[in-house]
């Protein structure tokens, strides 16, 4: 009877290969090409399809050359495959269990994306995962429900995060609705993220730029007027000759 899985019994981590392809030989034998290795920890049960074919054959033949080595780190079992998520991930960083959820979320706003993903994966594998951590949005640096629950102000977001410059849809008690930025789903033209904040911060700069632009336009106009032909115009029938008629004489 074929084993349901292969349990890791090595004291340390074990990298297990799987068969990538099998090459038939002229003598009727088969050579297996193994690769795509994955590391497992003690106690985990690996599905049979993730274990190299020649490894499984060696564990079935006690007198084979590979049995003595493989039998010390891997054994066939009738248990279903299982993965030890806690042992695999470990604590994201020292002192994690001593921090409350608010401290962890604040720390995630300044940690690298790889570390944040490790925290989210570790938390999701727990028996009672905290949604504030599992659903944390790396791109905006906040939980997706923070804004609608009024638990986050724009000024409190980490500097440099896109959410710190984002203006969301606002429905006042009276007056027109303030449209949000980005894709709103209302058919309104898309407004770039941060455009409203940039416009507010850039009012003074834009004013100076406009004045400078007007000054440059005036100078150009003056320069163009200076290139015009300012020779006196002779009215028809006055008896005076134009410069062209004088040259023809």
What pLDDT, in 10s, does the model give residues 16-47? Answer: 999 998 888 888 888 888 988 888 888 899 99
Q: What is the pLDDT at residue 74?
A: 92
pLDDT, one tens digit per residue, over 149-187 is: 655 554 444 455 555 677 777 888 888 877 777 766 667
Calculate the average pLDDT of the chain.
75
HEC string of the chain? CCCCEEEECCCCCEEEEEEEEEEECCCCCEEEEEEEEEEECCCCEECHHHCCHHHHHHHHCCCCCCHHHHCCCEEEECCCCECCHHHHHCCCCCCHHHCCHHHHHHHHCCCCHHHHHHHHHHHHCCCCCCHHHHCCECCCCECCCCCCCCCCCHHHCCCCCHHHHCCCCECCCCCCCECCCECCCCCCCCECCCHHHHHHHCHHHHHHHHHHHHHHHHHHHHHHHHCCCCCCCCCCCCCCCCHHHHHHC
Listed as ranges, residues in the chain with pLDDT below 50 are 154-158, 220-221, 244
């Amino acid at each position: 009877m074929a084993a349901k899985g292969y349990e890791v019994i090595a004291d340390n981590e074990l990298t297990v290969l799987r068969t990538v392809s099998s090459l038939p030989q002229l003598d009727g034998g088969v050579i297996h090409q193994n690769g795509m290795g994955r590391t497992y920890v003690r106690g985990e049960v690996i599905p049979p399809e993730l274990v190299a074919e020649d490894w499984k054959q060696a564990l079935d033949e006690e007198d084979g050359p590979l049995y003595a080595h493989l039998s010390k780190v891997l054994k066939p079992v009738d248990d279903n495959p299982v993965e030890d998520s806690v042992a695999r991930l470990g604590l994201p960083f020292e002192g994690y269990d001593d921090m409350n959820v608010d401290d962890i979320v604040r720390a995630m706003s300044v940690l690298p994306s790889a570390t944040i993903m490790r925290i989210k994966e570790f938390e999701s594998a727990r028996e009672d995962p905290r949604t504030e951590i599992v659903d944390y949005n790396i791109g905006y640096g906040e939980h997706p429900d923070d804004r609608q629950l009024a638990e986050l102000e724009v000024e409190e977001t980490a500097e440099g995060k896109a959410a710190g410059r984002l203006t969301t849809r606002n429905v006042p008690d009276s007056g027109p609705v303030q449209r949000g930025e980005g894709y709103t789903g209302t058919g309104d033209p898309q407004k770039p993220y941060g455009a409203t904040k940039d416009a507010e911060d850039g009012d003074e700069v834009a004013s100076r730029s406009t004045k400078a632009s007007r000054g440059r336009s005036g100078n150009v106009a003056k320069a163009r007027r200076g290139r015009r032909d300012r020779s006196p115009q002779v009215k028809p029938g006055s008896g005076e000759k134009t410069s062209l008629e004088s040259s023809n004489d």
